[in-house]
Amino acid sequence: HMADAHRTDLMTITRYVLNEQSKRPESRGDLTILLNHIVFGCKFVCSSVSKAGLAKLLGLAGETNVQGEEQKKLDVLSNDVFIKALTSSGRTCILVSEENEEAIFVEPSNRGKYCVVFDPLDGSSNIDCGVSIGTIFGIYLVQDVDNPTLDDVLRSGREMLVAGYCMYGSSCTLVLSTGGGVNGFTLDPSLGEFILTYPDIKIPKKGKIYSINEGNARNWDEPTKKYVEKCKFPPDGSSPKSLRYIGSMVADVHRTLLYGGIFMYPGDKKSPSGKLRVLYEVFPMSFLMEHAGGQAFTGKQQALDLVPKKIHERSPVFLGSYDDVDEVKALYAAEE
Ligand code: AHM
Ligand code: MG
């Protein structure tokens, strides 16, 4: 009976990744193990995020715990958890975290063939008010395991193998692409397992929502100004788009992926490269968008074609529904 099948035959994320692995006979399961460690990190952070409001209420934040350590801030805690999970997987050699100035080279005894770039807890301005925040990650294959260098992560986004994010929202949702389609999994707290809930996500070709921090409008370039004006006053007389902006990239991108539309963090007069970081914000989200049938543009090129020169480099980004991003591209092309 179908209903029973649904309840007892769940596609967990581990089962999904194992299935993917079995399609590649040469694979030895290293990626499966690495992803399992990332999933553990996401569960840990999810649980900490959901307890954080309570801890604050009880006055625990900033106090010392049994070991006499200061209670760690959520972003620091998340970073520590991911670094421990990733190094102990034995499958990584270079880690780039938004929280660490320098790249981390895993010691040879723990080393594996993957490089992981990540933002352990993105959307910091939303932490203290309980609004959705998230983790973003991307995975590269090192070129020479015995000799990892920064060049292994200073590569185009096209060379990324896997990208994903986990959103800590009204539920905990992990969205992943291993290079094929994009799939979304929701954490079942009673099982402690991520279950496939959004199989093969495809972003609508055109959307009805635009998402941008409009407070920066006076510093925008012409194409951004013109595009946002078109969203509000469509020249063809069609209905205007709705504005939604959370200020948490993971949440804004997740909504864009599911409902369609466009998310923008442009460059402006004050910060020509915008705010978002290429390696662990722009690339993974652009990778997911392209694999879901959307696109991502920097104002100059497809975002995945960028090759960063520094690990914390920033770039403007316009990503989302194919047709909506095309309109932005046309406005930039007309500038030249
Ligand atoms: P953070 O790394 O300090 O959290 O900043 C990144 C966040 C993104 O999640 C979000 O898209 C953006 O900053 C919002 O920036 P702004 O407040 O300038 O609109
Ligand atoms: Mg960030």
DSSP 8-state secondary structure symbol assigned to residue 167: E
| φ and ψ at residue 116, rounded to 5 degrees | -120, 125
3-state SS string for 299-335 = CCCEHHHCCCCCCCCECCEEEECHHHHHHHHHHHHHH
184 pLDDT tier (thresholds 50, 70, 90): very high
pTM of the model: 0.94
Query: Whose C-alpha lies nearest to ligand 1, atom 12?
Result: 247
Q: What is the pLDDT of residue 304?
A: 98
Q: Whose CA is nearest to atom 16 of ligand 1?
A: 247
- What tens digit of pLDDT does each residue of 89-109 get? 999 999 999 999 999 999 999
Q: For position 6, what pLDDT does the model report?
A: 58
> For a pLDDT cut of 90, what percent of the chain falls above it?
82
Handedness of CA 311, 127, 197, 37 (dihedral sign): positive
Residue pair 182/163 in contact by the 8 Å Cβ criterion: no
In the three-class reduction of DSSP (H, G, I as helix; E, B as strand; rest coil), residue 74 is classed as helix
Sign of the dihedral through C-alpha 158, 159, 160, 161: positive
Tell me the CB-side half-sphere exposure of residue 15, using CA atoms within 13 A.
Answer: 9
Q: Is the CB of 247 under 6 A from ligand 1?
A: yes
Q: Identify which of 166, 275, 282 to mutate to test ligand 1's pocket (most ligand atoms within 8 A of the CB).
A: 275
Residue 201 DSSP label: -
Residue 312 beta carbon below 6 angstroms from any ligand 1 atom: no
Q: What is the pLDDT of residues 258-299, one digit of tens each?
A: 999 999 999 998 899 999 999 999 999 999 999 999 999 999
User: What pLDDT shows up at residue 63?
Assistant: 52
Structural tokens at position 275: 């705010």
Instruction: Please name the residue whose Cα sits nearest to atom 18 of ligand 1.
Output: 213
Q: Which of 121, 276, 277, 315 to mutate to test the pocket of ligand 1 (most atoms within 8 A of CB)?
A: 276
How far, in Å, is the centroid of ligand 1 from the Cα of 143?
Answer: 32
Ligand 1 centroid distance, CA of 28 (Å): 38
Q: Which two tokens stand for residue 134?
A: 């998230």
What's the complex ipTM?
0.96
